[in-house]
Amino acid sequence: MWSTVDMSDDATAAAASPLSPDALSTEQRSGESAASPAVDSDSLLKSAETADADVVGAVYAVRDRFGAQGLRDLIALAERELVVTEQALAELAESQNPDGS
């Protein structure tokens, strides 16, 4: 069963978020880890703050249940879905403006 965290409180959100600078190790904050590329925690925090809460929750749920490989699978699927969605939107726009105006 999944537990939920009320993210309306900034302190709770920062503590619960793996993107919080407090949650990152010194190596991750500085990008010195040899095992992974440099982490720009400011960019990650900004992305999490501006993304819809359901999207953030879905990513965290996949991460928590399936780990890094699950996130890789999610990214691959999302990239494919993005292509299909953008093509559909382009076709819709074209059908609504067949003369190109």
pTM, to two decimals: 0.53
CA atoms within 13 A on the CB side of 25: 7
The pLDDT value recorded for residue 97 is 86
**Average pLDDT in the 91-100 region?**
86
Does residue 96 have a pLDDT over 80?
yes
The CA distance from 93 to 53, in Å, is 28
**What is the percent of the chain where pLDDT is above 90?**
45
pLDDT at 101: 60
Domains of the chain, by residue range, sit at 1-50
Query: Tens digit of pLDDT for each residue in 31-74?
Result: 444 455 666 777 767 777 888 999 999 999 999 999 999 999 99
Q: Quick one: DSSP state of residue 37? A: -
Asked if residue 45 lies in contact with residue 18, where contact means CB atoms within 8 angstroms, the answer is no
